[in-house]
Chains A and B, each alone.
Chain A
Amino acid sequence: GNSVTQMEGPVTLSEEAFLTINCTYTATGYPSLFWYVQYPGEGLQLLLKATKADDKGSNKGFEATYRKETTSFHLEKGSVQVSDSAVYFCALLHAGNNRKLIWGLGTSLAVNP
């Protein structure tokens, strides 16, 4: 079946550090891939997405590249800010099931000044 595996948190970084949060997936076919972010006290927000292999999603300085050969969609940011402190979720939407999202467990990020 379809599944998403994320690196476990919490991740604690200093401001301006480089961030990588690993995400790998298992799916048949060609799923669309997403990163959602949940800031404290707020709902889930779409951060970025990629719908086909080799696509790079980007937003707010975050990037992730859809790598079919390694079934990965790692999230990266070159210089994190305190305001990036949140929980990050990797998710997939199977191409043949245009309905539910399959989610990773989430990775908590804390950025210290």
Chain B
Amino acid sequence: GAGVSQSPRYKVAKRGQDVALRCDPISGHVSLFWYQQALGQGPEFLTYFQNEAQLDKSGLPSDRFFAERPEGSVSTLKIQRTQQEDSAVYLCASRAPGGASYEQYFGPGTRLTVT
């Protein structure tokens, strides 16, 4: 079956622009995560959804970052007034409901470059 997909794969934004990054999780996966991965670093947690509920947004670095998942499937991460320090790869992951496996399935990421 299809894996997690993200779009666009690459995004170049001028400083101050707003961007929207899309994530399509694996069908039936109720849990969805966003991570930010700076160059040469490990991913850093941003936010977590269970269905449409955003249960944890403790990792969002500022109020310029906003994520939503209104129908419990597709999610959008929006960054307002982008800054150069927002340049990173934004990863989306989803996880199947229940069970003993905690495996998160990752999309290919969106590489955001703010100029």
Contacts and interface: CB of A to CB of B under 8 A. Distances in A.
Interface in B81-115: 91, 93, 100, 102-109
Interface string B40-58: 1111110010000001100
A46 B102 CA distance: 10
B33 A100 contact: yes
B59 interface: yes
Contacts of A45: 106
A103 B37 CA distance: 10
A101 B46 CA distance: 11
Interface residues of B, number: 26
Interface of B: 3-4, 31, 33, 35, 40-45, 48, 55-56, 59, 91, 93, 100, 102-109
Contacts of A89: 42-43
Contacts of A105: 40-42
Contact of A100 (B45, B103, B105): B45
B27 to A, nearest CB: 17
B103 A103 contact: no
The dominant DSSP class at the A interface is strand
Given A43-B4, A43-B109, A44-B91, 9 more contacts: A43-B3, A44-B106, A45-B106, A51-B102, A99-B48, A99-B55, A100-B45, A101-B104, A106-B41
Interface in A27-81: 32, 36, 42-46, 49, 51
Given A43-B91, A43-B108, A103 B48 contact: no
A37 to B, nearest CB: 11
A43 B107 contact: yes
A106 B44 CA distance: 12
